[in-house]
Amino acid sequence: MFSDQQYLTTDQYRDSSKLDARIELHRRFSTNPQGWFAWVWDALDELPRQARVLELGCGAGSLWTACPERIPSGWSITLSDLSNGMLDAAWRNLVVIGRGFKFEQIDAQSVPYPDETFDAVIANHMLYHVPDRKKALSEIKRVLKTDGRFFAATNGEQHIKEINAWLTRAMIKGDLTKPSQPFLLENGLSQLQEFFSNVELSRYDNNLCVTEVEPIMAYIRSGIRAVEFSEAELAKIEKELRQQLASDGEIFITTDAGLFLAKK
At 99, is the pLDDT very low, low, confident or very high (cuts 50, 70, 90)?
Answer: confident
The β-bridge partners of 207 are 254
Assess whether pLDDT exceeds 70 at residue 27.
Answer: yes
Q: How far is CA 137 from CA 6, 8, 144, 194, 242, in A?
A: 21, 20, 11, 9, 43
* Mean pLDDT for all residues in the chain: 94
At 57, is the pLDDT very low, low, confident or very high (cuts 50, 70, 90)?
Answer: very high
Percent of residues, the chain, with pLDDT higher than 70:
96
At 174, is the pLDDT very low, low, confident or very high (cuts 50, 70, 90)?
Answer: low
Assess whether pLDDT exceeds 90 at residue 136.
Answer: yes
pLDDT of residue 126: 96
In this prediction, residues 106-119 reach a mean pLDDT of: 98
In this prediction, residues 87-114 reach a mean pLDDT of: 96
pLDDT of residue 29: 98
pLDDT of residue 1: 67
In this prediction, residues 12-26 reach a mean pLDDT of: 95
- Among the ranges given (67-81, 107-121, 180-194), the one the predictor scored with the smallest mean pLDDT: 180-194
Q: How far is CA 28 from CA 76, 243, 257, in A?
A: 31, 21, 17
3-state secondary structure the chain: CCCCHHHHHHHHCCCCHHHHHHHHHHHHHECCCCCHHHHHHHHHCCCCCCEEEEEECCCCCHHHHHCHHHCCCCEEEEEEECCHHHHHHHHHHHHHHCCCCEEEECECCECCCCCCCEEEEEEECCHHHCCCHHHHHHHHHHHEEEEEEEEEEEECCCCCHHHHHHHHHHCCCCCCCCCCCCCCCCCHHHHHHCCCCEEEEEEECCEEEECCCHHHHHHHHHCHHHHHCCHHHHHHHHHHHHHHHHHHCCEEEECCEEEEEEEC
pLDDT of residue 179: 56
pLDDT in tens, 150-160: 999 999 999 99
pLDDT in tens, 120-132: 999 999 999 999 9
